[in-house]
Amino acid sequence: MSSIHQLIQRVGDAYAHRPEIARTFARCLPNSLDTAMQPHPDGTFVITGDIPAMWLRDAAAQVWPYLPLCAGDPALRELVAGVIRVQARQLLTDPYANAFNATPSGAGHTGDEPERNPLVWERKFELDSLCYPIRLAYGYWQHTDDTVPMHGEFHRTLRVVIDVMRVEQRHEELSAYRFWRPGDVPATDNMPGGRGNPVRPCGLIWSAFRPSDDACERNYHVPGNMMAAVELGHAAELLRVLGDDTLADEADALAHEVRAAIEAHAVIEHPEYGRMYAYETDGLGHHVLMDDANVPSLLAAPYLGYVPANDPTYANTRRFVLSAANPYFATGRCAHGVGSPHTPAGYVWPIGLAMAGLTTPTAADRLAAVDMLVSTTAGTDLMHESFHPDDPAQFTRPWFGWANGLYAELVLATLETVE
């Protein structure tokens, strides 16, 4: 598409002195468009890369860098609008699922209990899966002033999303959700008893799994709740444009509840880092202190719009996350950054490196993050899921659209500095 090629040319000109940055951008920016977006008569299906299923989270993140181009590129605009329509239907099919098939094939994790809808690839309830479709729709509207994809199914989806969030504020009392994967599987693929550990209702929204698809230890996932607080506010704006002030008021009220609960129950006093956010809590006084590269993360709080980067509590949290105090921070000869228990111990995630760059207040640190990413592709000029910080040739997932999109986003965030 011409808008993609023009942007690649612009980055190539800006980084003529650093051809490796421009070359990697030229591969990463169109990667999802060229390889993962599958137009259908009723919308656009987006695979994650090397897995032939559509994750609500990944798909929204993969097309995010294309939003600024949509206003001037009708073909690209229709493709992204198609993603919004497909995600609305997916949430109406099963708002507790995280990943879907293109057709009702029954493909995916066939042994999971309870039995899934054949359109569902995996039914791990992750709070962010309810948030990313709203984020995409809101961003699309902001860039195009087009609300057509938000009528009908998407509008009905917002009612469903708010209802599910309300139920999951009182999970043990109101929710029928359970999940169990039989057999010899990693412990992170299951929750105790299929229901999770005990929680106390406190205004936070329960989540079974993290954005990594790993089970929560304490089932109030704080970054997911941060994202929910922001996206409920965005949903309220969209609903008022759609003429549904009643539901908009509900969304706003829930957003305020969640934000107040985060500040009341997810903030701890660390002996070294001071007042900071926990990664998970249970409303019973227990906290998990860590961060995971997958977004939403604590590191990503300003990127998601929850707090500004200079917020003191965030600044303390960031210092913790980007230190050895975070059990999933890794350092090696070639890179240092946030990883995840989802991949081998000590591996760094390009998503985490890109997010550190996208949330830093300094241009020099953004450029340093770009340098680290382009120097660790193992000659592929593409991002991977994770890699060994001493040897980037040891990596997981050679085709990972989400990470490619975030690299492109980071490079675009540096253009004002280098042009």
* Residues 141-153: tens digit of each pLDDT: 999 999 999 999 9
One domain for residues 295 and 341 = no
Q: Is residue 315 part of a domain?
A: yes
Among 279, 391, 399, residue whose Cα is nearest residue 346: 391
One domain for residues 304 and 341 = no
Q: Is residue 295 part of a domain?
A: yes
Q: What is the mean pLDDT of residues 24-51?
A: 96
Cβ neighbours for 388, distance < 8 A, ≥ 6 positions apart: 332, 344, 346, 347, 348, 394, 395
User: Residue 49's pLDDT is what?
Assistant: 87
Q: What are phi and psi of 36, to 5 degrees?
A: -120, -20
Identify the bridge partners of residue 209 per DSSP, sorted by sequence position. 215
Q: What is the mean pLDDT of residues 4-25?
A: 97
Among 259, 344, 269, residue whose Cα is nearest residue 306: 259
Range of the domain at 359: 1-35+328-419
One domain for residues 115 and 6 = no
One domain for residues 227 and 370 = no
Asked, as a colleague might, if the bond just before 350 is cis with ω within 30 of 0, I would say no
Is the predicted pLDDT of residue 344 greater than 80, yes or no?
A: yes
In angstroms, the Cα distances linking 223 to 98, 174, 295 are 17, 23, 8
One domain for residues 223 and 78 = yes
User: Residue 397's pLDDT is what?
Assistant: 95
User: Per residue in 173-218, pLDDT tens?
Assistant: 999 999 999 999 999 999 999 999 999 999 999 999 999 999 999 9
User: Residue 98's pLDDT is what?
Assistant: 98
Is the predicted pLDDT of residue 242 greater than 80, yes or no?
A: yes
User: Residue 2's pLDDT is what?
Assistant: 87
Domains contained in the chain, number: 2
One domain for residues 104 and 227 = yes
Mean pLDDT taken over the chain = 97
Is the predicted pLDDT of residue 349 greater than 90, yes or no?
A: yes
Q: What is the largest CA-CA distance in the chain?
A: 60
Is the predicted pLDDT of residue 1 greater than 90, yes or no?
A: no
213-242 burial by CB neighbour count: b if 16+ within 10 A, else e? bbbbbbbbbbbbbbbbbbbbbbbbebbeeb
One domain for residues 249 and 104 = yes
One domain for residues 192 and 305 = yes
One domain for residues 28 and 58 = no
Domain of 228, CATH number, reads: 1.50.10.10
Q: Is residue 287 part of a domain?
A: yes
Last residue of a domain, one of 325, 350, 383: 325
User: Per residue in 251-300, pLDDT tens?
Assistant: 999 999 999 999 999 999 999 999 999 999 999 999 999 999 999 999 99
Is the predicted pLDDT of residue 359 greater than 80, yes or no?
A: yes
One domain for residues 321 and 332 = no
One domain for residues 236 and 312 = yes
Last residue of a domain, one of 325, 345, 371: 325
Q: Is residue 177 part of a domain?
A: yes
Last residue of a domain, one of 325, 352, 375: 325
